[in-house]
């Protein structure tokens, strides 16, 4: 069955430190993966999708099919990166399955 | 604001009462999704529409839940005989199409508390 696992509920770093938010998935087909972010008091919004191979707000994520991972990385964290981050897998073309999320806290 | 709108933002109801939520998607989006999010969990898929047709319902959607999108525009989600376990954030999202090329736009959600 399809599943998305985010093993860390909370990740705390200091400003300027590197960040890696972990995401592992289980899916029998070809995975389409996303990272969504929710800033305080704001709605859930798309951060990036693996197919675009893009960097948004300094974040990147590489799909590793061998390790079934899609970790989110940023070399230098900023205070404004503090938010809830969700990894999501698209299945059956239409539906997203989300992980439980990781709260990133960036201290000054 | 041309985003996805949800109404109400908060709803407190007594157990056993019926509640109805509304979602107004982005006008040109033909797909509309309902998700539910409980504390400490990510959003979970409930159901979705393409235009006015309801294409799929999750096992999470018991017989007490019904969703409609009568004219392919706004959608309503009704919960009958609410239970405390229905307390959650109900999220609506819309998209222009299906598949990885089409991102979801989420609304702010309706937080339901059943007392």
pLDDT at B9 over 90: yes
Residue-wise DSSP of A46-106: EEEEGGGT--BTTBEE--BTTTTB--EEESS--GGG-EEEEEEEEETTTEEEE---EEEEE
User: Are the CB atoms for A16 and A8 separated by under 8 Å?
Assistant: no
Q: Which of A18-22, A28-32, A36-40, B82-86 is predicted least confidently?
A: A28-32
pLDDT at B100 over 70: no
pLDDT at B1 over 60: no
pLDDT at position B72 is 86
Which of residues 47 through 66 in chain B touch A, CB cutoff 8 A?
A: 48, 55-56
Shortest Cα–Cα distance, A68 to chain B (Å): 18
Which of A44, A86, A101 is the best mutation test for B, with the most CBs of B within 10 A?
A44
Mean pLDDT throughout A42-60? Answer: 88
Instruction: Name the pLDDT band for A19 (thresholds 50, 70, 90).
Output: very high
| Chain B residues in contact with A92 (beta carbon < 8 A) | 56
pLDDT at A29 over 90: no
| B5 vs B114: CA distance, rounded Å | 22
| B58 vs A23: CA distance, rounded Å | 24
B10-23 pLDDT per residue, tens: 999 999 999 999 99
B27-57 pLDDT per residue, tens: 989 999 999 999 999 999 999 999 999 999 9
Contact A96 B106 (CB under 8 A): no
Token pair listed for A42: 């704001």
Residue-wise DSSP of B24-88: E--TT--EEEEEEE-TTS--EEEEEEETTEEEEE-TT--TTEEEE-TTSS-EEEEESS--GGG-E
pLDDT at position B109 is 97
User: Are the CB atoms for B91 and B37 separated by under 8 Å?
Assistant: yes
């Amino acid at each position: 069955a399809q599943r998305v696992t985010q093993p860390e509920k909370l990740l705390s770093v200091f400003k300027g430190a590197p960040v890696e938010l972990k995401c592992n998935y289980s899916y029998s087909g070809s995975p389409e993966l996303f990272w969504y972010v929710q800033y305080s008091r704001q709605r859930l919004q798309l951060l990036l999708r693996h197919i675009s191979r893009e960097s948004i707000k300094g974040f990147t994520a590489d799909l590793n099919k061998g390790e079934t991972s899609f970790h989110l990385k940023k070399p230098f964290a900023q205070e404004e990166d503090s938010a809830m981050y969700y990894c999501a897998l698209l299945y059956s073309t239409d539906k997203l399955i989300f992980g439980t999320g990781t709260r990133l806290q960036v201290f000054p | 604001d041309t985003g996805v709108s949800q109404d109400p933002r908060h709803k407190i109801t007594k157990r056993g009462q019926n509640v109805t939520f509304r979602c107004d998607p982005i006008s040109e989006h033909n797909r509309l999704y309902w998700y539910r999010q409980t504390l400490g969990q990510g959003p979970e898929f409930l159901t979705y529409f393409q235009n006015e047709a309801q294409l799929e319902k999750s096992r999470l959607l018991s017989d007490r839940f019904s969703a409609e999108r009568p004219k392919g525009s706004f959608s309503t989600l009704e919960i009958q005989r609410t239970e405390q376990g229905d307390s959650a954030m109900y999220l609506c999202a819309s998209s222009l199409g299906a598949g990885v090329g089409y991102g979801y736009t989420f609304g702010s959600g309706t937080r339901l508390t059943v007392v």
